Chains A and B, each alone.
Chain A
Amino acid sequence: MPEKFSEVTLILFASTLIILLLTGLVVVSLFINQRRKYRFHREKFEMKTNFDRELLRSHLEIQSQAFESISRELHDNVGTLISIAMVHIRSMSVPATETEKIGEVDGLLNEAMDSLRDISRSINPENINRLGWQKSFVTELDRVRKTKLFNVHYSEEGIPFGIEIQKQIIIFRILQETLNNIVKHSCGSQIYSHVCFTNNMVSITIRDDGKGFEAGQPGEGAGIKNMRSRAAMLPAVLDIGRGVERGTIVKLTYTEQTT
């Protein structure tokens, strides 16, 4: 121990203690500041996510209303006009030489009426509400099958579970956009779709044998972007990739949150 406890030793101990305390204070304040900063960033991120979600929701609502209105117009206005045209044609007294042509016109109008009805149904959100996303999807596949451009294969496994109506509409719109893309761009002849339910998860795979498509490329269209936005809104995982040999595989995986 020291010879005597002088002022010098007191100064030494006191200054050391003060420096230690100050350093401790600085470090603690740094940690507190860091925590505050982290909380602020998290809140900002959550606010931005909520804002984006609300924006997308309102966008989808507007789109849904627009679809509903178009569907109604098609059904009530254009549909009625075609029906009237058909009635007029059928009530016409035509010479025997023109009967065949009139029959063809009647057939074409019938076909137009069927197509119109199908389109009207597929875009009407109320229809999806009534049938559910799965039946609507099967109806959509039938519509594609009717074009006779594709052989459509459908399979499912597992036990279906209930999904909120708004989410069902989003799921259906993603699948509908996928089918539209296949019809428009794939140049293939086969469509394979598989729906698999496991516990509270559903995964829908749609595959074609067309020319294929590379996702994530700069030229990715608005349709794919919309699909991704919709999937993010659910939230669900959307994988778009090339098929093993050719074509494209689109896989949507949605997990129902259990509360």
Chain B
Amino acid sequence: MNAKLLISTLPLLVVGCAAAVSLVSFRRHYPAALRKLSVFWVFNFCVDLCGHITKYYGLKNHWLYNIYFWLMYLVLAYLYDRQVKNKYVHLAIRAFYIVFPLLVLAESLVSGIDKLQTLMLVAGSIFMIFLAAAYFRQLYLSEDNESVARDPWFWFSFGFIIYFGCSVPFLGMLNYLWSHYKEFTNFYYSYFCNSFAILLNLLIITGFLCQRNFQKSR
């Protein structure tokens, strides 16, 4: 196994670990939202695995990641809808449910789904950052005395802000970068994007293992 393959496989391993660790939510008194996230993370791992296999065989897999990101943004918005207790955020999520599929449809019609839909990625990522920030604001204003370090959604939000925040500038320009700076794009993707993905998954693992007493908080 050469170094390049190892670097590209490492995030897959971490995603696999995160998916495996997330299954802990089915064993203990975890809330339903975490179980749903766990199911999604297992799906995430399967998609990533398929992505790696198709890449290995030299097949174009942008359509796979397009579909994956559509689902991801909708699922995360759905899960945040249950976590953030603010009516304006709820309204924003309702609006997102309407606007985002329209955006996806428009971009699919204009650019097709074979090409990575960067507009959808940027819009979705910005909305995820907004939701994570809204959750941070809720924690900031909360009267709850329990440490934020024991709140899984704090770790998830932290991971999402870093991952989406750092990916947005790159993903937004990905098609342009790909056509003009192919080597740099490969370099940035291999080292930076993968690092952020690893960081996100480590934070997801932390979130699932942060040992909040859900039984008590019910």
Contact = CB atoms under 8 A, between A and B. Distances in A.
A48 B140 CA distance: 25
B165 interface: yes
B2 interface: no
A38 B177 CA distance: 48
B114 interface: no
Contacts of B145: 37-38, 41
A23 B170 contact: no
A16 B187 contact: no
Contacts of B136: 26, 30
Contacts of A8: 173, 176-177, 180-181
Interface string B106-137: 00000000000000000000000000010010
B46 interface: no
B170 A12 contact: yes
Contacts of B58: none
A23 B187 contact: no
A109 B139 CA distance: 74
Contacts of A3: 181, 183-184
A181 B180 CA distance: 91
A222 interface: no
Q: Which of B161, B170, B180, B184 counts the most chain A CB atoms within 10 A?
A: B184
Contacts of A26: 133, 136, 161
Contact of B181 (A9, A15, A33, A34): A9
B187 A20 contact: no
Interface string A226-238: 0000000000000
29 contacts: A1-B183, A1-B184, A2-B184, A2-B187, A3-B183, A3-B184, A8-B173, A8-B177, A11-B169, A12-B173, A15-B169, A16-B170, A16-B192, A19-B168, A19-B169, A20-B162, A20-B165, A23-B161, A29-B140, A30-B136, A30-B139, A30-B148, A30-B154, A31-B149, A33-B140, A34-B139, A34-B147, A38-B145, A41-B145
Contacts of A1: 183-184, 187
Contacts of B165: 19-20, 22-23
Nearest to B139: A30
Interface in B143-158: 143, 145, 147-149, 154, 158
B87 to A, nearest CB: 23
B203 to A, nearest CB: 11
Interface of A: 1-3, 6, 8-9, 11-12, 15-16, 19-20, 22-23, 26-27, 29-31, 33-34, 37-38, 41
A1 B165 CA distance: 23
B183 A2 contact: yes
- Classify chain B: how many residues form its interface, as a range: 20 to 34
A16 B168 CA distance: 9
B166 A16 contact: yes
Given A12-B173, A37-B145, 14 more contacts: A1-B184, A2-B187, A3-B184, A8-B176, A8-B177, A15-B169, A16-B169, A20-B162, A20-B165, A20-B166, A22-B165, A23-B161, A30-B136, A31-B148
Question: Which 4 A/B pairs are nearest by Cβ-Cβ distance?
Answer: A2-B184, A19-B165, A15-B169, A16-B166
Contacts of B214: none
B194 to A, nearest CB: 13
B158 A2 contact: no
B215 to A, nearest CB: 22
B188 interface: yes
A3 B187 CA distance: 11
B192 A2 contact: no
Contacts of B133: 26
Nearest to B142: A37
Interface in B28-81: none
Q: Which of B139, B165, B183 counts the most chain A CB atoms within 10 A?
A: B165
Contacts of A38: 145, 147
A29 B184 CA distance: 35
A129 B148 CA distance: 51
A21 to B, nearest CB: 11
Nearest to B145: A41
Contacts of B169: 11-12, 15-16, 19
